[in-house]
Structure 1
Amino acid sequence: MIYFFADFSFKTGEYPDKQKWLSLQSQVDSMKIDDSRKLPKLYLFNPNFITDYKGYKLGMSVEQIDRLLVFRKKNKYVNSPEEFQNVTKISDSLLNLISPYFKFPDWVNNKKELKEYKKRPYIDFSKNEKIVLIDINQATKEDLVKIYGIGEAISVRILKQKETLGGFVSMEQMQDIWGLSPEVIENLITHFKVLAVPRFKKIEVNNASLRELSQFHYFRYALAKEIVTYRSMNGNIKNIEDLTKIKGFPVDKANIIGLYLDFN
């Protein structure tokens, strides 16, 4: 009988190649994690008007988005990345990622112009001229550019938004238009109103396809998908209150959104 003796004890240091491989694998795993957290392609945007879907895509939690919505309900605006973080409580790392894309109105960055603006808010209107309210849905580009702070680009943006929606149902919708400061919106409200709800084709919530729902300005794809899922599991959606139960629905805009929908 022959006996063989072998020493099966070994030290990790005796296999440098294995250690090197493990180290490289760890780096690869780390890179995969970082890659999975990359933000979608971003363009400049006003952080005051982040929607639920936009916030989700940016990496914000539901609680962080809700804090911003509650803040905005008070008709308040953040005017810097620091204020945005104070309100939402997002992390420093997320703030560093998204704040370079923040675009605040010019008046925020130019206090001198703001002071001049406060002195003459209605520069294009005579002091003695009686203000005649115009239906915002009947307003022309020429009507809009008379408001101090609205140039040709923003007036076209307002008219395009009206066309997309089929018409405005509330002056609150001016807050959804990029580039309008609170002061300019206040001036708009002084001269324009929704004197009559326009006639437009309402969206049939219970019959519309996922694509049709996702094309609605206030829904987008993620929320439209949630609506279709809710509809298939619970039957027809009876009213706007049913929609507010759905994850991601912008509750603060429920009254406005409801006017664009048909629940039959």
Structure 2
Amino acid sequence: MGAAHSIGQSVLNYSKSQRIGIILFFGIVMVLQGIYFFCDFQSSDKKDKAAVTWLANQNAIDSLKLQNKNFKATIYPFNPNFITDFKGYKLGMSVAEIDRLLAYRKQNKFVNSAAEFQAVTKVSDSLLKVISPYFKFPDWVTNKKEFTSTYVKTEFPKKEKLVILDINLATKEDLMKVYGIGDKISDRILEQRTKLGSFVSMEQMQDVWGLSPEVIEKLNTSFVVKSTPNLHKININTASVKELSQFPFFRYALAKEIVIYRTMHSDIKIEDLSKIKGFPVEKIKIIALYLEF
């Protein structure tokens, strides 16, 4: 008790600055004790151990790299026209070089050789030397010279000049040259021409049974009426009913009507034809060429 009293008395005898220093000292001691109590110093030891292990493995990795120092990434053949940003980066191209190629392709243009690729992208000779062996262009580009040299100009036969014949002088063989006219139809055309002596119009092809509009159109491009050498005419004012009925355009009933009209009105003129009962008015112009008045 006396010792404690003497210590307390001695502390009181310290100056103010000395007392502050003693208080700070005890405060620092308490802070350090708190850090020691709350902090886990073992984790740093664990980290140091992990770092040591990683460094040991890194030495093994470095040794493997030295053993494989000649290893090179495999580059497969590719068409340089379709290099992407990532592909160009892997090949060692700069951003500017890749952009030049992409801008060129946006114009729908293609590079067709290593030299043209360098002219567009401005890549260095050293880089071109490394990547150009892997360029793969389409066959038509690589074999362009071969295709050009083997091309043979084809001589097409000159189109024969179309000869237009007189339908009234045409033979069976002439008619059968027209696509769509065979043996039987050609015989019908010649038979009709024989009955009339001659055709006076190509419109009469419509009266031949079996001729389609398409074939008639082809006939009209190959034949015309140039002459009527054997035209058979019939006198409508003197012919009997029998003679009139044998005319290809008239039937027996119409032949009777013609004779009746002729008897009642005297001679028939061309303008009277449309007045006769049953007369084919739509063919008056053609029929009139076979009649005598």
TM-score, normalised to structure 1's length? 0.51
Instruction: Name the SS of the counterpart of 1:169 in structure 2.
Output: coil
* Deviation beyond 4 Å, 4+ runs, structure 1: none
* CA positional deviation for 1:202: 1.2
Matched residue SS, 2:255: helix
Instruction: Give, in angstroms, the shift of residue 135 of structure 1.
Output: 0.2
Check whether the contact 1:134–1:192 (CA below 8 A) recurs between aligned residues. yes
Structure 2 counterpart of 1:181: 212
Larger-Rg structure: 2
Match of 1:230 among 246, 261, 271: 261
In the superposition, the TM-score normalised over structure 2's length comes to 0.46
Aligned residues: 137
Give the Cα–Cα distance (whole angstroms) in 1 for the partners of residues 171 and 232 of structure 2.
22
Which secondary structure does the structure 2 equivalent of 1:244 belong to?
A: helix
Q: Contact conserved, 2:198 with 2:232, CA < 8 A, in 1?
A: no
Helix, strand or coil at the partner of 1:142:
helix
Structure number with the higher helix fraction is: 2
1:247 maps onto 2:277 in alignment: yes
Summarize deviations over 1:84-121 as a string: whole Å, max 9, x none.
xxxxxxxxxxxxxxxxxxxxxxxxxxxxxxxxxxxxxx
User: Residue type matched to 1:253 in 2?
Assistant: K
Asked if 1:150 is matched to 2:150, the reply is no
Structure 2 unmatched runs, 5+: 1-156
Higher-RCO chain (CA-CA 8 Å, sequence separation at least 6): 1
Partner of 1:71: none
Listed as ranges, the gaps of 5+ residues in structure 1 are 1-125
Structure 1 match to 2:250:
219
CA distance in 2, matches of 1:201, 1:215: 12
Match of 1:131 among 162, 176, 195: 162
C-alpha distance in structure 1 between counterparts of 2:223 and 2:158, whole Å:
17
Alpha-carbon separation, structure 2, partners of 1:199 and 1:160: 14
Structure-to-structure mapping, 1:33-182, within 5 angstroms: 128-182=159-213
How far does residue 238 in structure 1 lie from its aligned partner after superposition?
Answer: 1.7
CA root-mean-square deviation: 1.2
Structure-1 separation of matches of 2:262 and 2:181: 42
Distance across 1 between alignment mates of 2:183 and 2:253 = 33
Q: CA 1:201 to 1:174, structure 2 compared with 1: closer, same or farther past 3 Å?
A: closer
Say if 2:231 is the partner of 1:200.
yes
Once the two structures are superposed, residues 146-180 of structure 1 have per-residue CA deviations (whole angstroms, 9 ceiling, x without a partner) of: 00100011001100000011110000000000000
Look up the equivalent residue of 2:280 and give its one-letter code: P
- In structure 2, relative to structure 1, the CA distance for the partners of 1:149 and 1:127 (3 Å cut) is farther
Shift of 1:198: 3.0
Identity %: 66
Determine the structure 2 residue equivalent to 1:61: none
Q: Which amino acid aligns with 2:288?
A: G
